[in-house]
Chains A and B, each alone.
Chain A
Amino acid sequence: MSAPTLTTVWTASLHRELTLIWRSPADIVQPLFFFVVVVTLFPLALSPKPALLALVAPGAVWVAALLAVMLSLDGLFRRDQESGALDLLLTAPGVSVVPVTAKLLAHWLLTGLPLALIAPLLGYMLQLPVAVLDTLMVSVLLGTPTLTVVGAIGAALTVGLNRGGILLAVLVLPLYVPVLVFGAGVVRTALDGLPTGGLLAVLGAILALAVSLGPVAVALGLRISAGD
């Protein structure tokens, strides 16, 4: 039997991952629900005054999105590890980066993308002016893939450990700082009526770095966790 081509591996992996997530809707709905609930807590905790809410809205939406992505990643590799599929993925012929990238893309499409799509609604609820809602959405759209990839490195390194959750947060949250600063910063810049192109480009550059090098690090992390 000849080794499968990269395209075959890519298509098959992507199909498998999308099917798996699609068949457990809780994995899609729960991060989204978490996102909405956390954002709802802010007006209740701070004050319902519109002027104050608009001020904290970019940060509140961004912190909630960041936590939602991170928590969704905790189980990213666990099911595959328990079923043994992860070992097959790592020992299969060819590079493991391809199926890993497919997994990350599938995960982002069904958890990160919905967060970006619902972000404008939450921004509106926090009294952000309608004019900046598109910037909010674009910033979350550009930021969440980076969060997924960087968080996946942490998830890969902690996959075999019992106390995944809080350890994952300790490892990953400091790495999320730049995305948070620029992501929320873009929205605040838009609120001030200043041009946002440059900052969006920075977010895009960080995304390019994460997407190009991140999957390699994730695959390496999985190998290390498998005891290689």
Chain B
Amino acid sequence: MAIMWKTLKRWYHQLGSPRYFYRFCEAVLPWLVPVALAVLAVGLVWGLLYAPVERYQGNSYRIIYIHVPASSGALMGYIAMGVAGLVALVWRMKMAEVMLKALAPFGAALAAVSLLTGALWGKPTWGTYWQWDARMTSMLILLFLYLGIMALQNAIRDPRQAARAAALLAVVGVINVVIVKYSVEWLNTLHQGATLKVVGESSIDPSMKWPLLISMAGLWLLYAANVLIRARTEVLNRERRSGWVRRLVRDGEA
């Protein structure tokens, strides 16, 4: 346990250094991208082609293999932004600022995909593309919060100031998302409850659950890869005047 904690602490400090982070990305990305794509492909092909047909919804339920991974990714991404924001504000860690910025675009895209697939799934199942149901409304607000953070980052020219402003907004936003969830749940609920449960029995058959979990893992890995790529670019941009980036451009190695 003590060793694990020490390793974690060392990682935290090492990854806090832009140069070390760049080298970490260079080492990880060449296999992370193909692994993410492969896992996602296995999950999607299994789910879309081989998983059994659902008794009531027929084949239309298969959109779950895109809908649920996208929704969970959007939610996790926003929570991660809140955590990164807190770290950036409290410890003024540069890499947390970089991560915060890198997390936003893919998360916003996932929120949009979640809404879109949800609408497509809603039509055959509920008879409508859109309802002001609690979860749909929360996801829409989440998309707005993502766009707000991106707009704020865009509006401020100084990258450090932009990142810190976005960090504060992300932290406030995470608290807000929780309250939004309860407020709209009080307002209206049509959506089914959670099918996958961490604790207790899931209400989905294992033959449908496994491809779902694999798709989720694949999409999350892809999200991670996207974040690392964006963060790597941001690091190079921020550090463009430092010696190691100059050497990297000149000699091809940091």
Chain A: residues with CB nearer than 8 A to chain B? 150, 153-154, 157-158, 161, 163, 167, 170-171, 173-175, 177-178, 181-182, 185, 206, 209, 213, 217, 220-221, 224-225, 227
Contacts and interface: CB of A to CB of B under 8 A. Distances in A.
Interface stretch (B169-177, B192-200, B209-217): B169-177
A167 B183 contact: no
Given A181-B187, A185-B186, A225-B165, A217 B172 contact: yes
B171 to A, nearest CB: 8
30 contacts: A153-B169, A161-B155, A167-B151, A170-B144, A170-B151, A171-B151, A171-B152, A173-B144, A174-B145, A175-B145, A175-B172, A177-B176, A177-B184, A178-B176, A178-B182, A178-B183, A182-B183, A182-B186, A185-B187, A209-B175, A213-B175, A217-B171, A217-B172, A220-B168, A221-B165, A221-B168, A224-B164, A224-B165, A225-B161, A225-B165
Contacts of B161: 224-225, 227
B148 interface: yes
Given A170-B151, A181-B184, A220-B89, 13 more contacts: A175-B176, A177-B180, A178-B176, A178-B180, A178-B182, A182-B186, A206-B179, A213-B175, A217-B171, A217-B172, A221-B165, A224-B168, A227-B161
Interface residues of B, number: 28
B147 interface: yes
Closest 6 CB pairs of A and B: A174-B144, A181-B183, A178-B183, A178-B179, A224-B164, A171-B148
Contact of B156 (A154, A161, A173): A161
Nearest to A157: B165
A175 B173 contact: yes
Contact of A177 (B155, B169, B175, B183): B183
B141 interface: yes
Nearest to A153: B172
B201 interface: no
A178 B173 CA distance: 12
Nearest to B154: A167
A153 B168 contact: yes
Nearest to A169: B148
B253 interface: no
B156 A181 contact: no
Given A167-B155, A185-B187, A174 B164 contact: no
A161 B158 CA distance: 12
A148 to B, nearest CB: 15
A157 B169 contact: yes
Contacts of A170: 144, 147-148, 151
Interface string B9-26: 000000000000000000
A206 to B, nearest CB: 7
Contacts of A175: 145, 172-173, 176
B60 to A, nearest CB: 31
A93 B75 CA distance: 41
A206 B175 CA distance: 11
A57 B209 CA distance: 47
Contacts of B172: 150, 153, 175, 217
Contacts of B89: 220
Contacts of A213: 175
Given A182-B183, A224-B161, A158 B155 contact: yes
A182 B182 CA distance: 10
A65 B158 CA distance: 34
A150 B172 CA distance: 9
A157 B183 CA distance: 26
B2 to A, nearest CB: 35
Contacts of A217: 168, 171-172
Contacts of A161: 155-156
A169 B171 CA distance: 18
B22 to A, nearest CB: 26
A63 to B, nearest CB: 15
A171 B165 CA distance: 11
B87 to A, nearest CB: 15
Interface in B114-146: 141, 144-145
User: Which of A153, A170, A185 has the most CB atoms of chain B within a 10 A radius of its CB?
Assistant: A170
Given A174-B144, A178-B176, A182-B183, A227 B158 contact: yes
